[in-house]
Chain A
Amino acid sequence: MKTRYSFGGDEHIFVEVDEEMSLDAFFKSLSMTNAVRNSNIPGVTEICPANASFQVKFDPDRIHPDDMMAELKKLESAAENAEKRLTTRIIEIPVFYNDPWTHETLMRFRERHQDPNGTDLEYAARINGFDSVDDFITAHHSTPWFVSMVGFVSGLPFLYQLVDRERQLQVPKYLRPRTDTPRLTVGHGGCFACIYSVRGAGGYQMFGITPMPIYDPEQKVRHLKDFMVFFKPGDIVKYKPIDRTEYDRIVAEVEAGTYAPRIAEVEFDLDAFNADMEGVNAKLKEALYVG
């Protein structure tokens, strides 16, 4: 890992903790952003953590950009030695894979795809070496995922699969981005999964849809009453495959104000995870389902 600092104009500093994605880079970035928050450097206006990088927005009328840069660099060595451990939560996200709405959308934008004659799931299954779409879907929902960034638009989570790098599902983004994506589409690009919080443009492959809202500007949805955005970096997600009947049932529950996501508090320790991925994943799932 080599940390690289750059000015983003006169109001931002961009810090790339590592060029490539890893949980080590995520945790170092998280530690550094926590350190920036705690150090109360004058002039800092926004701190945005990302997968393996972060950004600080500042007011150059209050602190000279060079001084801001020096302050940030001072925090790096302490962040390197910070504990890579989080008290967080695991959330079950129901997913209706191969649903009619993302299917209609992906057919509409077929000429922008690498494989105009198939579907996004068929393409993703093939290039990841699976014999069938069902096997691919199983690989997608059988292990937990880690929210390594929230952003792009309104509370959209980027998720990193909690498995060995060799087993991580990887797909390219669309050749040209779509101008439409159904709200709550479960997508995938590079090594990252995402959930589209709102309807709009997008370039990730589309695998399914969740009935569970993750952004509600009116804060009417029961689990979004306290804050309009559901996810935060460090959350852990377990997808659960559902069929049309269950999808419709959950949509009705959300509308009636009775739906409550399945959530459990968990500890995540990166060293323990790196030492025994299957064991840690089993414990995470146990917390969710046995608790």
Chain B
Amino acid sequence: MSVKVIKPGLLTTVQDLGRPGYFHLGIPMGGAMDRLAMRSANLLVGNDEGAAGLEAVFMGPELEFTQDALVAVTGADMPIFVDEVEQPGWTAIAVKAGQRLGFGFLRSGARAYIAISGGIDTPPALGSRSTYAIGALGGVEGRAIAVEDELPIGRASGKGRAGASVPQALRRGPGSPAELRMLPGLYWHRITEAAQKGFFEDEWAVAPEADRMGYRFRNGRPLEFVEREQPFGAGSDPSNIVDGCYPYGSVQVPGGTEPIVLHRDAVSGGGYFMIGTVISADMDLIGQLQPHTPVKFVKVDMDAALAARAERAALMQRIREAVG
């Protein structure tokens, strides 16, 4: 079976949980920016958590089904319609052959995840169906979906049941101001104590340059550098380093002005210093931030990062139990 793309939305890509293992060649893991939402959508329709679905940014696509299927939409909150009838989010919905799935205007969050029973069955590239548009890899010919694409769908497990739902208390979206917990490190020593303090005091806002590669933030004070003679090969700006690796979630600040948090389609390295890394538990949240959202960075230590990670894993486990 397949699903026909009537309208693609703004930027809708096929994503699963990514292709770890090639970052040393500059090919990032990719995959859903909000992994909890992607996993939840898959569970609702009876798929493996790592099946491929769609990630739709700010605006949903319109899809026509050629066979009966279960679908679930999680993540960003936008009205969901099957033909003209509004449907609940975070819930398995039965769709009949010939019906269309469509969306209204975004209410909150940034990325909706659409799972279809059987999963999207485009050819895997390096072990994943995730679309990495910069490298023209995965998904539909390495690009976002377009009008008249026919998305192949795999065989449904039959485990999903219409009406299954993730309880309200277990759904996650961003607060306002959103809080991103960061473990200082990497080149944290390159900025003055006053700048270190100021970074956490300031209220930042998501800049328009926010995509799968990274999220840029503005409105905070410029960071003041500790003076030094630049090392050979680094470049003359105080924010330059000898090109090195970038962790996922690392916070680089080119020129000391606007921090950029690297996300699932991160560049694997480069010549800008980094002041720390957003903890793994808060990465999903970034994918749901709209431009202009106020954001505070919150300083944490490793114990707090690991506790947050365990809490996130426990939440996912509760979703599995609630849906299963």
- Least CB distance from A51 to B in Å reads 5
Interface of B is mostly: mixed
| CB-based contact B25/A14 at 8 Å | no
Smallest Cβ-Cβ distance to A10: which chain B residue? B305
Judge whether A141 is part of the interface by a CB distance below 8 angstroms. Answer: no
| CB-based contact A152/B270 at 8 Å | yes
Residue in B137, B245, B274 whose beta carbon sits within 8 Å of that of A48 in the complex: B245
Judge whether A237 is part of the interface by a CB distance below 8 angstroms. Answer: no
| CB-based contact A158/B27 at 8 Å | no
| CB-based contact B270/A191 at 8 Å | no
Judge whether A226 is part of the interface by a CB distance below 8 angstroms. Answer: no
Residue in A11, A21, A45, A151 whose beta carbon sits within 8 Å of that of B233 in the complex: A21
Set of chain A residues within 8 Å of B233, measured between Cβ atoms: 20-21, 51-52, 160, 190-192
- Number of contacting residues on B, CB 8 A? 50
**Cα distance, A122 to B185, chains bound together (Å):** 39
Set of chain A residues within 8 Å of B274, measured between Cβ atoms: 8
Proximity bits, A205-241, B CB within 8 Å = 1, else 0: 0000000000101000000000001000000000000
Residue in A12, A18, A51, A154 whose beta carbon sits within 8 Å of that of B247 in the complex: A12
Judge whether B167 is part of the interface by a CB distance below 8 angstroms. Answer: no
Residue in B26, B186, B234 whose beta carbon sits within 8 Å of that of A14 in the complex: B186
Set of chain B residues within 8 Å of A10, measured between Cβ atoms: 183, 279-280, 302, 305-306, 309
Of A9, A45, A46, A173, chain B has the most CB atoms within 10 Å of the CB of A9
- Least CB distance from A204 to B in Å reads 9
Judge whether A120 is part of the interface by a CB distance below 8 angstroms. Answer: no
| CB-based contact B24/A9 at 8 Å | no
Given A21-B232, A53-B242, A158-B243, verify A152-B25 contact (CB < 8 Å): no
- Least CB distance from B226 to A in Å reads 13
| CB-based contact A50/B269 at 8 Å | yes
| CB-based contact B243/A154 at 8 Å | no
Proximity bits, B16-52, A CB within 8 Å = 1, else 0: 0000110111110000000000000000000000000
Set of chain A residues within 8 Å of B268, measured between Cβ atoms: 48, 151-153
Set of chain B residues within 8 Å of A60, measured between Cβ atoms: 280, 306, 309
Set of chain B residues within 8 Å of A22, measured between Cβ atoms: 232
**Cα distance, A200 to B270, chains bound together (Å):** 15
Judge whether A198 is part of the interface by a CB distance below 8 angstroms. Answer: yes
Interface residues in B215-245 by Cβ distance below 8 A to A read 231-237, 240-245
Judge whether B97 is part of the interface by a CB distance below 8 angstroms. Answer: no
Judge whether A7 is part of the interface by a CB distance below 8 angstroms. Answer: yes
Proximity bits, A48-88, B CB within 8 Å = 1, else 0: 11111111010011000110000000000000000000000
Residue in B135, B249, B269, B276 whose beta carbon sits within 8 Å of that of A198 in the complex: B135
| CB-based contact B26/A154 at 8 Å | yes
Judge whether B298 is part of the interface by a CB distance below 8 angstroms. Answer: no
Set of chain B residues within 8 Å of A155, measured between Cβ atoms: 25-27
**Cα distance, A225 to B274, chains bound together (Å):** 37
Given A10-B280, A10-B305, A16-B244, verify A154-B271 contact (CB < 8 Å): no
Judge whether B117 is part of the interface by a CB distance below 8 angstroms. Answer: no
Smallest Cβ-Cβ distance to A8: which chain B residue? B247
- Least CB distance from A122 to B in Å reads 19
Set of chain B residues within 8 Å of A215, measured between Cβ atoms: 135
**Cα distance, A176 to B309, chains bound together (Å):** 36
Set of chain B residues within 8 Å of A54, measured between Cβ atoms: 245
Cβ-closest 8 pairs across A and B = A21-B233, A8-B247, A9-B277, A20-B231, A55-B245, A151-B268, A12-B247, A154-B135
| 14 CB-based A-B contacts, threshold 8 Å | A6-B185, A7-B277, A9-B185, A9-B278, A18-B242, A45-B21, A48-B269, A49-B24, A50-B243, A54-B245, A55-B245, A190-B243, A198-B134, A217-B136
